[in-house]
């Protein structure tokens, strides 16, 4: 894993936080802001732990959200997920 991988993950996660805030989803925004905060201080394991413990399917999960701008939400979520999963592989 390179510092570039972490920087990409921070940027993608912060972009997703912005979308979550725009969609008025403060709980989700806080959860992903914490993931970005872990990454910024170099705690990749903490970030990945938080990411793994987030509900992505089923009632009350991220996939259960109907966003006002669904395309932007889906794009930001996808980019964030890809960047974070890349850290697991590195």
Render pLDDT for 67-79 as a digit per residue (tens, 0 to 9): 999 999 999 999 9
Angle, alpha carbons 16-21-26 (nearest 5°): 110
pTM, full prediction = 0.91
Q: What is the number of structural domains in the chain?
A: 1
Give the structural domain span for 34. Answer: 3-89
In this structure, what are the phi and psi dihedrals at residue 81, rounded to the nearest 5 degrees?
A: -60, -45
Q: How confident is the model at residue 90 (pLDDT cuts 50, 70, 90)?
A: low
Among candidate residues 15, 14, 87, 11, the one with its CA nearest the CA of residue 49: 87
- Summarised one tens digit per residue, pLDDT across range 40-72 is 999 999 999 999 998 777 787 888 889 999 999
């Amino acid at each position: 894993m390179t510092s570039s991988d972490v920087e990409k993950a921070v940027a993608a996660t912060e972009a997703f936080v912005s979308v979550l805030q725009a969609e008025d989803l403060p709980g989700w925004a806080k959860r992903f802001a914490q993931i970005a905060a872990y990454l910024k201080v170099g705690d990749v394991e903490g970030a990945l732990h938080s990411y793994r413990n987030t509900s992505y399917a089923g009632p009350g999960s991220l996939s259960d959200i109907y966003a006002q701008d669904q395309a932007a939400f889906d794009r930001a979520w996808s980019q964030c997920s890809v960047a974070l999963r890349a850290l697991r592989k590195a």
